[in-house]
Chains A and B, each alone.
Chain A
Amino acid sequence: MDFLTALKISSSGLSAQRLRMDVISSNLANVNTTRTAEGGPYRRRDVVFASQPVTTSFGEVLDSMEDRHLQQVEVVDIVVDGGNPKMVYDPRHPDANAQGYVGMPDINVIEEMVNVLSATRSYEANVAVVNATKSMVNKTLEIGR
């Protein structure tokens, strides 16, 4: 058990939340995108978090308590929303169909903004843990001075 494990776990949380933020900003940036490489309007994406056991070189050898209970977080998948596009009546739009409707991404901006806040708070919590770890390590280094 060492502090590097704590830092490793916190950094896994940081990078997972950062990736989540990337996906949310992609959703927000493409709120009006009607053309994509795979055809049709942009589809909303979401991250899937899963806890994974922390593997340290020493931990792989010893089947100790921390192996079973220390779980870092990882983004295991980015799923694409399978819902139908939102049909908006706009006959002058270049991508409008014969009836004058355009398929727009079904993205709720408010929902995305709430996710932005949630990701920010979780990121900040992990930063706070990193700072706490750092202060504890510094305190340890002061022993014997």
Chain B
Amino acid sequence: MAPESLFGNTMVMLETVLDFQSERHTILSTNVANVDTPGYKGHDVRFADELKRAIDTEGTISLKKTDERHLPVEMSRLKEIEPRLVASNDSPPRLDGNTVDLDKEMTKLAENSLYYNVTAQLVSKKMRLLRTAISEVR
């Protein structure tokens, strides 16, 4: 059974984006915690390119069937995206070799946090939509 039957591809995509954003949040908090550590190199996560490629690629990944009577199991391609970790080199290293720019990190963190809230809100709305569709039959 394809998961799209009930939630559609939107839900899978929102899930993936939520995962990515929570991962990015953790990476950014690592940078903020190490703002005074000499020699620490800041990191960031890139994701948009991979997501776009997965959306553009049509089709799903199917599990191999060893018997004709097996039910088809299909996974969205979105499930196989791996966020890409990159060194954030938007600021030159300070005298102690640290590359974390606190202002930039806090901006990124606030932005990511907002996007996360938006995505979570979208998941909520999608659920509510389904619930409405279910309850209106009664």
Interface residue ranges, A against B (CB under 8 Å)? 1-3, 5-6, 9-10, 12-13, 16-17, 20, 49-51, 65-66, 69-73, 118, 121-122, 125-126, 128-129, 132-133, 135-136, 139-140, 142-145
Contacts and interface: CB of A to CB of B under 8 A. Distances in A.
What 9 A-B pairs have minimum CB-CB distances, sorted nearest first? A13-B33, A139-B120, A132-B113, A6-B26, A49-B37, A129-B29, A6-B29, A139-B117, A73-B33
Interface stretch (B17-25, B48-56, B65-73): B17-25
A13 B43 CA distance: 16
B22 A1 contact: yes
B124 A71 contact: no
Contacts of B81: none
Interface in B104-119: 105-106, 109-110, 113, 116-117
Interface residues of B, number: 33
Interface of B: 18-19, 22-23, 25-30, 32-38, 40, 43, 85, 102, 105-106, 109-110, 113, 116-117, 120-121, 123-124, 127
Contacts of B32: 10, 13, 125-126, 129
Contacts of A3: 22, 25-26
Given A49-B38, A125-B106, A142 B30 contact: no
Contacts of B116: 136, 139
Contact of A143 (B29, B38, B43, B124): B124
